[in-house]
Amino acid sequence: MSQIRCLEKSYYHGILGHMVKAQNEIKESLKLIDIVIEVLDARIPISSRNPLIENLAQGKERIILLNKSDLADKEQNIKWKKYFENKGYSCLNVCANNNEDIKKIVETINIKGKKIYESKYANKKIDIKPIYRVLIVGIPNVGKSTLINKIAKKQSAEVGNKPGVTKAKKWIRVSSNIDLLDTPGLLWPKLDEKDAGVKLALTGNIKQEILDVEEIAICGIELLMQNKKYRSMFIKKYKLENEDLDVMPYEMLELLGKKRGCVISGGEIDYTKASNIFLEELKNGKIGNITLDEI
């Protein structure tokens, strides 16, 4: 994975200025914030988490949203929800396009907001209509803007297919008592720890085109083959035989290329095409519900 490590480092330096600016914006905005919502990818709850948020949001009510939970391992969803709840956070497994999940998010914001309001004005004879100011943070392409749009019930935040589309800070009025603050995406500044960069690439949270797609695909095959449950999914998806399983990951990629018709003139395998097919099927849940950060 040496080439991937090098490219991860290069990618990090390329976004460093953006990250510093975003962090400064969050520090300034937190003075006005009641609740911090952190959006994570349910398939990689640790790898998609920016550790700086922990310090930045100290003293604020917290909600963790494990987005894209429909693509993640159901058993792992339960374990990760419990993990964050044991740390004192409210935690929801959500899918940004599920209306029922959006309702749960709004309900949780109101519960948290009411708690803050009652604590703040419990002993004061003040009749003030509460406005809960909510900050939503998350790495690029984790689904943050889609969630904001669904909560606000309109296209208030710019959404795109490429990582890091939302670049400017903006307030969004969700209801008569909830204001959301959108922020630029923050990417983990230590991508080389615990294969975080590889997992971010495998789930589509960083641009795969900046890395070697063949190396990413081989890493993905290795991760799946190391897990008994996911290994079975992989074998079933690609209709592999017992004799196919005792090969190196690169040879496995060649085998997948043959099965997917990625053959060019002379019978050679188009490894780039085979890699892209595998990566798309992994990212979109076509192989199965898979969580790469296991607990």
Length of the chain: 295
Helices (H), 129-260: 144-152, 196-202, 213-225, 228-237, 249-259
- 141-179: pLDDT as tens digits: 898 888 988 988 864 544 444 444 444 557 788 877 888
Q: Quick one: pLDDT at residue 124? A: 65
CATH 2.50.20.10 applies to domain 212-283: no
CATH of 14-182, one of 1.25.60.10, 1.10.150.50, 3.40.50.300, 3.30.200.20: 3.40.50.300
Render 14-49 in DSSP notation, one character per residue.
HHHHHHHHHHHHHHHHGGG-SEEEEEEETTSTTTT-
**Domain boundaries in the chain?**
14-182, 212-283
| CA triple 187-193-194, angle to 5 deg | 115
Q: What is the mean pLDDT of the chain?
A: 82
> CA–CA distance from 55 to each of 60, 83, 155, 256 (Å)?
10, 19, 31, 44
- Please determine, for residue 286, whether its predicted confidence score (pLDDT) is greater than 60: yes
**What is the per-residue pLDDT for 285?**
95
pLDDT tens string 75-123: 999 999 999 999 999 999 999 999 999 999 999 999 998 888 877 766 6
Return the percentage of the chain with pLDDT > 70, whole number.
77
Residue 34 has pLDDT above 70, yes or no: yes
